[in-house]
Amino acid sequence: MKLSLPLTILLCALILSAMPLRAQRTYEFPFQDPGLPLDSRVADLIGRLSLEEKTSLMLYNAPAIPRLGIPEYNWWSEALHGVARSSPATVFPQAIGLAATFDPALIEAMGDAISEEGRAIYHATLRKGIHKQYMGLTFWSPNINIFRDPRWGRGHETYGEDPYLTGTIGSAFVHGIQGDDPVYLKAAACAKHFAVHNGPEAKRHVFNAMASPKDLQETYLPAFRRLVDDGVAGVMCAYNRTNDEGCCISPTLLLKTLREDWGFKGYLVSDCWALSDLHSFHKVTASPEESAALAVKSDLNVNCGVVYGQLDEAVRQGLATEAEVDRALDKQLRIRFRLGMFDPPGQVLYAGIGEEAIHSKDHIELAREVARKSIVLLKNKNNALPLKPDIGQIYVTGHNAADVNVLIGNYFGVSSQMVTILEGIAGHASPTTVVQYSQGLLVGQKEVAISGMNYNASNADATVAVIGLSPLEEGEQGDAIASSYDGDRERIELPAPQMEFIKDLRKRCGDRPLVVVVCGGSAMAFPEIHELADAVLWVGYPGEQGGNAVADVLFGQVAPSGRLPVTFYAATEQLGDYEDYRIAEGGRTYRYFEGEPQYPFGFGLGYSPIKYSPTGSTRLSILEGVNLSLKVRVTNEGARPQEEVVQLYIHKNDAPFPTPLYALKAFQRVSLEPGASEVVEFTVDRSMLEEVDMAGQRTLLPGAYTFWVGGASPHPVVASLGGAAPVQYNVMLRVVKKSLPINE
């Protein structure tokens, strides 16, 4: 059919009007055109910049370049457990509590909620022309350092002491933050602090952490490798030196390991003012110009600090080249492009997220769910918990019961709905329940100061004492104002007044239940309190909905299902020298500690007894290159619904070098109705069986292995604490192909 000319013109006009706006738009500069390849856009922009403009963009507080239409941008934003230090947003549990959930799907959902709120805040600030610190889209989270010693004050920012758990939770967080669009990042996550960084806080600007090749490859680096493999946008280098090399100029860590071996193509940022430490404290460089030059040669792309302010002068002095500046600038500009900062808003997938996302009803409920699953039940004598909903009288006491600080940890945001544990209990109590409260003791002084109001424990049907630590006592250098050790702790025992306080309550309670709720982000030693209390809960720093979540568990609306992401030692004397970074040869973390802990890694009770039983033989044989399908039946033998964290641990028998006593290799969460069973299956592949030798090489050793599947790490103390007995498997590995070095 032949169309008339007017009809042809009309059809052409309709087709043109239906084409994307992008095709009709003209751009002043090619780098502004989202239709061009990213490589071309970045190269075009760099080619239009002067040396001084290039180096200014590599500072964290990058200025605007008006002649090119480049807006001001501050790279420094935080989102460890919610958008932090910014406008009010949802406050989720502190990172150590996220690890205690053993629930990566839940943490990914939380990460997605955080980046949604971060996007909404960022868009709101752009509309008002605001470019403040903490309001950007480059979140310097998560902290995936290994919590090797409970005396480290910043340990509650981490996901605990196990590299597999840390990598799994960290990866889920990153996926949630960054989204899954192939073009645009929802926000940019950043793994920190690279590497071998975990105290002492007082010496972090001068400290030289010495780590063996085995410990590096087995403990300190695997979580970073996991996040790099999974596409994390950024990595932050640490303040300290590692094996004599400044972490932010380390050829071993940055150029060899991160860039060459792992193929990391994202951006690298210094910890804040870490480049200044190189010449001011470490004395590995002689001037800011030299520090800047070595950093840019190490492909450090963003300087949190001021040293890159001298980078152009370093180039003029011949200490670095402009080509090296271009190489470093390229990687960080790609992040800004992928965040859509140079594109029309209508082109950017996430630009439509509005302010209604900030602290939404769904996010508040999600914060409560995460907090519920982070709570760990450590003791429940004679089923003291859950409390009856219509209990007659409750006495709530303890210095942490009404304290907002114990909800938020550090690197926190704020919101309008901070629910303390006292408020949570009061909100759950029936109209006929008497709820009485007193702080009970005065903290911060050596003498015991116990309130006369504690007589209420003599009349109450149950007493809930909320004790433990707070971020005032453990945290980053300068933040924990009640710490005498720059945020660290000298000892892990709870202060003596808290011990005396619980003794006094025990006497007053008589045979009525005494429930102790322990707040804090690290392992604490309190064996005497364990003996005195009828029930013990560890709740970490549970976020804005922490009070409701704790009350949900206390009153049985949900059963506790959290697991310890760290070993709770029985005494400080069980720990080695705090400054000794040896893991395998130092007997550190549950994988190498040979003593008896107070509570072992992975431990946690529920309200229903759980039974583990094999579905077949417990004597197995496999060949190299053939995966093993391992099945176990998990049964809820109680009368309440229960979520169980099923954990797989492996030990290599008779290895020619130190190997973990048992190491977490996989876990799954299962939901079980009363009386229900579920068969849980794990696929064991070669990577789970490889061990790291003293030279730091991964190797597959033939011969005998022991596997355990249970609800905690397989330490014998679990049985005495009321935990379920694990299923033990004896496994023989037969090597048929020697594709890796084999020790026979």
pLDDT at position 7 is: 44
Alpha-carbon distance of 647 to 638, in angstroms, equals 20
Distance separating alpha carbons of residues 105 and 169, to the nearest angstrom:
9
Superfamily classification of domain 35-357 = Glycoside hydrolase, family 3, N-terminal domain (3.20.20.300)
Peptide bond between residue 195 and the one before it cis (omega within 30 degrees of 0): yes
Q: Within 13 Å, how many C-alpha atoms sit on residue 666's CB side?
A: 17
DSSP string, 105-163: HHHHHHHHHHHHHHHHHHHHHHHTT---TT-SSBB---B------TT-GGGGGS--S-H
Identify the sign of the CA torsion 363, 365, 368, 369. Answer: negative
Q: What is the residue whose two structure tokens read 């030196």?
A: 241
Fold classified for 610-734: Immunoglobulin-like (2.60.40)
What is the three-class DSSP state of 620?
strand
> Do 424 and 486 form a contact (C-beta atoms < 8 A)?
no
509-553 confidence digits (pLDDT tens): 999 999 999 999 999 999 999 999 999 999 999 999 999 999 999
The pLDDT of residue 623:
93
What six digits make up the tokens of 502? Answer: 């619980």
pLDDT digits (tens, 9 = 90+) for 578-621: 999 999 999 999 999 999 999 999 999 999 999 999 999 999 99
Backbone φ, ψ for residue 9 (5° rounding): -60, -40
Provide φ and ψ at 589, rounded to 5°.
60, 165
DSSP string covering 306-364? SGGGGHHHHHHTTSS-HHHHHHHHHHHHHHHHHTTTTS-GGGSTTTT--GGGTT-HHHH
Domain-by-domain residue ranges, the chain? Answer: 35-357, 367-566, 610-734
Per-residue model confidence (pLDDT) at position 687: 95
Q: Given the residues 271, 313, 423, 486, select the one marked as catalytic.
A: 271
Q: How confident is the model over 55-65, as a mean pLDDT?
A: 98
Residue 684 has pLDDT above 70, yes or no: yes
CATH 3.40.50.1700 for domain 367-566, yes or no, is yes
At 258-291, the pLDDT tens digits run 999 999 999 999 999 999 999 999 999 999 999 9
The phi, psi pair for 670, rounded to 5°, reads -130, 145
Q: What are phi and psi of 454, to 5 degrees?
A: -65, -5
Q: Give the separation between CA 186 and CA 201, rounded to whole angstroms.
A: 33
741 pLDDT higher than 90: no
Tell me the C-alpha distance between 431 and 711, whole Å: 38
The rounded percent of the chain whose pLDDT value lies above 90 is: 92
Distance CA 669, CA 683 (A): 15
Cβ contact 110:92 at 8 Å: yes
| Model confidence, pTM | 0.94
Angle, helices 104-127/163-178, rounded to nearest 10 degrees = 40
Is the predicted pLDDT of residue 12 greater than 90, yes or no?
A: no
* Same-fold call for 35-357 versus 610-734: no
Task: State the angle between helix axes of 361-374 and 104-127 in degrees (0 to 180), rounded to the nearest 10.
Answer: 140
The mean pLDDT of 617-627, rounded to a whole number, is 94
For residue 313, give both structure tokens. 């002068």
Kindly state the percentage of the chain with pLDDT values over 70: 95
Is 149 an annotated catalytic residue?
no
Question: How far apart, in Å, do the first and last CA atoms of the chain sit?
Answer: 81
Going by C-beta distance under 8 Å and a sequence separation of 6 or more, which residues neighbour residue 325? 51, 54, 55, 58, 296, 311, 315
Answer yes or no: 244 catalytic.
no
Q: Residue 456: count other Cβ atoms within 10 Å of its Cβ.
A: 22
pLDDT band for position 21 (50/70/90)? very low
Question: Residues 206, 202, 587, 166: what is their CA dihedral angle, to the nearest 10 degrees?
Answer: -90
Can you give the pLDDT at residue 5? 39
Identify the band that residue 24 occupies on the pLDDT scale cut at 50, 70 and 90.
low
The mean per-residue pLDDT over the stretch 178-206 comes to: 97
Q: How many C-beta atoms lie closer than 10 Å to residue 169's C-beta?
A: 29
Confidence tier at 319 by pLDDT (50, 70, 90): very high
Which of 157, 201, 330, 474 is an active site residue? 474
Buried b (16+ CB within 10 A) or exposed e, 583-596: bbebbbbbbbbeee
Q: Which comes out higher in pLDDT, residue 8 or 83? A: 83
The Cα 646–Cα 35 span in angstroms is 48
* Residue 743 confidence (pLDDT) above 50: no
The predicted pLDDT at position 446 comes to 63
Q: What pLDDT, on a 0 to 100 scale, did the predictor assign at position 735?
A: 86
Closest CA to 142 of 118, 162, 166, 164: 166
